[in-house]
């Protein structure tokens, strides 16, 4: 999907928002998608990941647009429509909804928009919860245990509760219907990558090395969160 196709899909999606875009504040500017290198999603063997192979409502992780920035990949198990959102800087955008044959597959930066908590090899305090956590407001949310920010992946990772001030940054995916493959090609929404690299510079240099800030291109490996992380915290 190129920029033109993306913009056309956003226009079409916005028309089906049942008036959601119309309620955006008058001061909201438009947030444009940011393109990065295209990265085919592959499995741990290096083979192209088939979208139909994803298990519904299971946490998957890959890295994009940089080698050290993790992304949640989710098949929500149902079609997901576009949604109108606003960043902390008051930039409005229309998240295009799900992709895949059932339009149920979504991807969001796994960096919490509050304290920049993210999944590591050792521990993850943030993940998608199929059923509500102890302090959950509903099922099917991305929940961060650090300060209990909760995001709805079916609405573009909109904040439903907690101190986070903007949605998780969306990672844009293109689905090849014939090959049933997925390719990451950009982001949409409020990026926090600069803040992330500043906060975790020392840890990332130890965990990832000099390539932490390298742009991902070509391909990115998808893993189940439980296999990527030794201890996924449930709160």
DSSP state of 211: G
Is it the case that residue 3 has pLDDT exceeding 50? Answer: no
Boundaries of domain holding 96: 3-228
Residue 116 lies in a domain: yes
Whether 208 contacts 102, CB under 8 Å: no
Bridge-based pairing state of the strands 34-42 and 218-221: parallel
List pLDDT tens digits, range 27-86. 444 678 999 999 999 999 999 999 999 999 999 999 999 999 999 999 999 999 999 999
Residue 183 domain-assigned (yes or no):
yes
Residue 33 inside a domain? The answer is: yes
Residue 100 lies in a domain: yes
| 3-state per-residue secondary structure call for 37-65 | EEEEEECCCCCECEHHHCCECCCEEEECC
CA distance linking residue 99 with residue 80, whole number of Å: 8
Instruction: Please check whether residue 187 lies inside any domain of the structure.
Output: yes
* Interatomic CA distance for residues 195 and 204, integer angstroms: 13
Instruction: Report phi then psi at 12, rounded to 5.
Output: -65, -40
At 16, list the tokens: 């089906």
CATH number for the domain harbouring residue 86 = 2.102.10.10
Residue 233: inside a domain? no
Q: Which of 97, 52, 56, 99 is nearest to 75 (CA)?
A: 56
Q: Phi, psi (5° rounding) for residue 6?
A: -65, -45
234: in domain: no
Q: Is 157 left (phi over 0), alpha (psi -120 to 50) or beta?
A: left
Q: For residues 69 and 23, give the distance between their C-alpha atoms in angstroms, rounded to a whole number.
A: 32
Least confident among 98-112, 129-143, 163-177? 129-143
Residue 235 falls inside a structural domain: no
Tell me the pLDDT tens digit for each residue of 80-131: 999 999 999 999 999 999 999 999 999 999 999 999 999 999 999 999 988 7
Domain count, the chain: 1
Which residue's entry shows tokens 């990949």? 73
Q: Mean of the per-residue pLDDT values for the chain? A: 87
Q: Which residues pair with 92 in a beta bridge?
A: 30, 86
Question: What's the confidence (pLDDT) of residue 20?
Answer: 39
* 206: its two tokens: 């130890």
pLDDT single digits (tens) 185-201:
999 999 999 999 999 99
């Amino acid at each position: 999907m190129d920029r033109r196709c993306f913009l056309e899909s956003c226009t079409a999606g916005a028309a089906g928002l049942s008036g959601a875009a119309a309620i955006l504040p008058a001061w909201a500017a438009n947030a444009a998608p940011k393109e990065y290198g295209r990265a085919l999603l592959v499995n741990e063997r290096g083979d192209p990941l088939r979208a139909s192979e994803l298990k519904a409502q299971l946490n998957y992780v890959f890295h994009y647009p940089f080698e050290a920035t993790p992304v949640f990949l989710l098949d929500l198990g149902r079609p997901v429509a576009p949604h109108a959102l606003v960043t902390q800087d008051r930039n409005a955008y229309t998240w295009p909804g799900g992709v895949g044959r059932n339009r149920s597959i979504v991807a969001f930066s796994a960096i919490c928009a509050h304290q920049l908590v993210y999944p590591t090899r050792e521990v993850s305090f943030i993940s998608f919860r199929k059923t509500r956590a102890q302090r959950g407001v509903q099922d099917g949310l991305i929940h961060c245990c650090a300060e209990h920010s909760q995001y709805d992946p079916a609405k573009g990772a909109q904040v439903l509760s907690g101190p986070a001030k903007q949605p998780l940054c969306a990672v844009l995916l293109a689905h090849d219907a014939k090959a049933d493959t997925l390719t990451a090609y950009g982001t949409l929404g409020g990026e926090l990558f600069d803040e992330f690299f500043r906060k975790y510079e020392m840890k990332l240099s130890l965990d990832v090395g000099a390539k932490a800030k390298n742009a991902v291109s070509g391909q990115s490996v998808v893993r189940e969160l439980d296999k990527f992380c030794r201890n996924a915290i449930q709160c």
